[in-house]
Copies of this chain bind each other. A is one copy, B any other.
Amino acid sequence: MIEDREPIRVALLGCGTVGTEVVSLLQGRPGEFAARTGAPLQVTGVAVRRPHKHPEVPEHLLTTDAAALVNGDVDVVVELIGGIEPARSLLLQALRAGKSVVTANKALLAEYGSELYAAADAAGADIYFEASVAGAIPLLRPLRESLAGDRISRVMGIVNGTTNYILSAMDSSGASYAETLEEAGQLGYAEADPTADVDGFDAAAKAAILASLSFHTRVTATDVHREGISGIGAGDIAAAKSLDRTVKLLSICERVVDDEGNESVSARVHPAMIPRSHPLAGVGGAFNAVFVEAESAGQLMFYGQGAGGVPTSSAVLGDLVAVARNLVVAGKGPRESAHAQLPVRSMGATPTRYHISLDVADKPGVLSQVAATFNEHDVSIAAVRQQGRGPDASLVVITHTALDSALQATVDEIARLSAVNEVVSVMRVEGEQS
């Protein structure tokens, strides 16, 4: 009988919305977890800062001493505290003692992933972290395991629900960024301090994790070029709409091959226009979706809920079952795969495409001045549209692919042309052939 086997002892660090759900499901469905794991799962303790704030957790499980819990008789540590310290020290302690770890901590993994992997490997312990990117969506296991026989060429995802909510709402309502952010805060879609979301820090940590797994290369959050959405105006959204495109904050991880065949990795977070026909364009509200291109598999998409206590608990518990199963059968989950060690490209050296909208003077020769500037920087123009006349004349240019530094330099110079009154909108273009 499975129920007679030695239980797998599980310690939880942190007990917010995800932790509460994890404890409740583990306690509520013991038979189901035992059947799937091969041994009962027993919660031996839950470390929190203020025990009286957790009436839903049985009192004898609560402790404020996380270190003692980790150092005690436990087989698996589930970390849901978030942030770098004390999470990092506690997990290193656990791993060094041969205890396996399940964590949802994207910031920690994006910064200290290799250190944690190394500690796990040295002690023969497992580390799983499905919940750290795209919440409930099974994504990291497919990237790490299902696609292990393929070559991923590109991962492009909507992995931050707050910014996707805001951009989707701006797209529907035509409202300004400030108004929409305020509304998102009132509805609970944005934090009181929304910096981590709207400035792209959250998406950048996730991009680092995705790039590392996809390209077998160590990529940290600081390697990721990061631009947030606070500069997006109603004008940008309207410009996108007029071209049958929509604006999304994307985490993009690409394998870039130069003319000599040298490979490198681009990892970046920035808003971009994508065609409304792209599968990511329809991903609205707080949903997440990740579009993956691999050499053999072709185009794949993974879609689902990216946040929230209940959805995220699904990923945490899936990892916990995997770790516990490995303990039962003396197996071992995947290790760090960093054999490719590709260099990470700077943003300037990354090939991108721009959409540029200009408010121009209504005089002859404007287009030729602008076109000459593109030409000087070796940036090829894909399409030009001139709209209106008189003081409202505008010029919209979409480029072919060029190095981002060349595009940036072109825009800077165009802004100084006498015929250009204002650079109204500059946005990268993704999700279509160049």
Other-chain contact of A148, B36, B296, B303 (Cβ < 8 Å): B36
A33-53 vs B, Cβ < 8 Å mask (1 yes, 0 no): 101100000000000000000
Residue contact A300 to B136, C-beta cutoff 8 Å? yes
Residue contact A331 to B337, C-beta cutoff 8 Å? no
CB-contacts of A281-300 with B (<8 A):
282, 294, 296-300
Of chain B, the residue at the smallest CB distance from A301 is B303
Residue contact B318 to A147, C-beta cutoff 8 Å? yes
Residue contact B146 to A130, C-beta cutoff 8 Å? yes
CB-contacts of A334-353 with B (<8 A):
334, 337, 339-340
Of chain B, the residue at the smallest CB distance from A340 is B35
Known pairs A142-B138, A330-B330, A331-B326; A304 contacts B314 (CB<8 A): no
Interface residue A365 (Cβ < 8 Å from any Cβ of B): no
List B contacts of A321 (CB < 8 A): 145, 148-149
Residue contact A149 to B303, C-beta cutoff 8 Å? no
Known pairs A142-B142, A325-B334; A298 contacts B318 (CB<8 A): no
Interface residue A141 (Cβ < 8 Å from any Cβ of B): yes
Integer count of this chain's copies in the complex: 2
Interface residue A320 (Cβ < 8 Å from any Cβ of B): yes
In whole angstroms, how far apart are the Cα atoms of A206 and B312 in the complex?
28
Residue contact B305 to A298, C-beta cutoff 8 Å? yes
Known pairs A296-B136, A334-B325; A145 contacts B318 (CB<8 A): yes
List B contacts of A310 (CB < 8 A): 296, 298
In whole angstroms, how far apart are the Cα atoms of A339 and B33 in the complex?
11
A160-190 vs B, Cβ < 8 Å mask (1 yes, 0 no): 0000000000000000000000000000000
Residue contact A304 to B298, C-beta cutoff 8 Å? yes
Known pairs A149-B320, A326-B331, A337-B35; A305 contacts B311 (CB<8 A): no
Interface residue A109 (Cβ < 8 Å from any Cβ of B): no
Of chain B, the residue at the smallest CB distance from A135 is B297
In whole angstroms, how far apart are the Cα atoms of A142 and B138 in the complex?
6
Q: Can you identify 22 A-B contacts, CB atoms within 8 angstroms?
A: A35-B340, A36-B148, A138-B142, A138-B147, A138-B300, A145-B321, A146-B315, A146-B318, A147-B314, A149-B314, A150-B317, A296-B311, A296-B317, A297-B304, A297-B305, A297-B311, A298-B305, A299-B303, A301-B301, A301-B302, A329-B331, A330-B332
Name A residues whose Cβ lies closer than 8 Å to a Cβ of B: 21, 25, 32-33, 35-36, 130, 136-138, 141-142, 145-151, 216, 279, 282, 294, 296-305, 310-311, 313-322, 325-326, 329-332, 334, 337, 339-340
Instruction: Give the top 6 A-B pairs by smallest Cβ distance, nearest first.
Output: A149-B317, A138-B146, A331-B331, A138-B142, A297-B314, A136-B297
